Amino acid sequence: MDKIKVLVIDDEPMYAGIIEKILDPDRYSVLKNFDAGSGIKAAEEKKPDIILLDWKLPDMEGIEACRILKSSANTKNIPVLMFTSMATTKNKVAGLEAGADDYITKPFDDKELIARINAAFRRFQGERQEIEENIKTVERYISKELFNRLKGISHKERKEERASILFCDLCSFTLLTRSLTPETIKEILDKYFALISETVQKKYGIIDKFIGDAVMALFLSRRESDIPSEKSALECAIDIHRGIGRRRDPGGNPLKVRTGIHTGKVIIDSVGTEKRSDFTVIGSAVNFAAKLQQTALPGQILVSGETAEALQPFYELEKIVCEDFSEKYGIEPYEVHFEA
């Protein structure tokens, strides 16, 4: 069993030493800092399970240090127990309002200190377990990558970013399902989505959602490489077409997909109401990618002119004459030629 990591921030080494002696070394690991600055830094780096914070510190008030700890994403969930010789109601209220989880008066009783530390740790463990369970639930409905991009970012902080949107669906699937049982339909979709999800992940894309037999995926330019989002999205689309092309429906006919890709500005955020909302990608780029997918023929990949600009050096592209489409949506479709 891992030891409970206790961080003591107190400018009096005597008290820090007393706490270390009180706590069973087989169960607790004690870290000691004697000023707020180094204590806050230790909390960020060492990730303790409990923080014991003195009210009076040489570089700042303990109450201010508590506010800093509770305002940081890295330390805000760590329980803070403030202790001091000032046992007035005013001081206790001030400490609790600053975010402290409990209050201990000096000099403290050994058993009371241990009991309060254990109680705070149990609450912390319970809250952490609940958060982890909630995260697992959320990740069933949105991708882990999308969740990680969103967590800790407020709505106001979410900004537009350039992305390539991919839409892909199975051709003639509605017609095919007329003669299939629900169990068989589910089996086909599960295998189809598994192949697509694996392919999207390999190309560093993010599955946004499954819509019937269609898939929407998001590709962002990778900061750690020079690979543009357009290239990642197209490589993914080609791999999907090749992978699906090797599959057959229950009647022995080869499966085919059609794909549309468009690049533009989007925002990743939640839409809906307080009772029901959904994380998704928002922007005209999503609609244009969907329209390209709906226009594509079975086995065809269509990209917009915006996407084609980044792909010209790498792939053979052919501009498609489709006046109604261009006039209606203001984008030029290009077909991507590739070996199936």
pLDDT of 268: 79
Kindly give, in sequence order, each residue whose CB lies less than 8 Å from that of residue 86, ignoring residues fewer than 6 positions away: 55
Backbone angles phi, psi at 220, to 5 degrees: -110, 150
Kindly give, in sequence order, each residue whose CB lies less than 8 Å from that of residue 214, ignoring residues fewer than 6 positions away: 167, 168, 169, 170, 293
pLDDT of 281: 83
Q: Are strands 50-54 and 28-33 parallel, antiparallel or unpaired?
A: unpaired
Its CATH architecture, for the domain 4-139, is 3-Layer(aba) Sandwich (3.40)
* Alpha carbon distance 297, 98 (integer Å): 62
pLDDT of 36: 94
Nearest to 5, CA basis, from 78, 87, 89? 78
Partnered with residue 304 across adjacent β-strands are 333
For the domain bounded by 144-337, which CATH number is listed?
A: 3.30.70.1230
- Residues in the chain where the model's pLDDT stays below 70: 1, 87, 131, 134-159, 222-225, 274, 277-279
Q: How many residues in total does the chain contain?
A: 340
User: Which of left, alpha, beta for 179 (phi over 0: left; psi -120 to 50: alpha)?
Assistant: alpha
Contact 70, 64 (CB under 8 A): no
Give yes or no for a cis peptide into 48 (omega within 30° of 0).
no
Q: Which long-range contacts (CB under 8 A, 24 or more apart) does 115-122 make?
A: 116/81, 117/4, 117/6, 117/23, 117/28, 117/50, 117/52, 117/81, 120/50, 120/79, 120/81, 121/4, 121/49, 121/50, 121/79
Contact 102, 66 (CB under 8 A): no
pLDDT of 134: 60
Token pair recorded at residue 288: 């244009």
Which part of the chain is CATH 3.30.70.1230? 144-337
pLDDT of 131: 64
Query: How far does the chain reach from its first CA to its final CA, in angstroms?
Result: 54
pLDDT of 156: 52
Which part of the chain is CATH 3.40.50.2300? 4-139
pLDDT of 301: 96
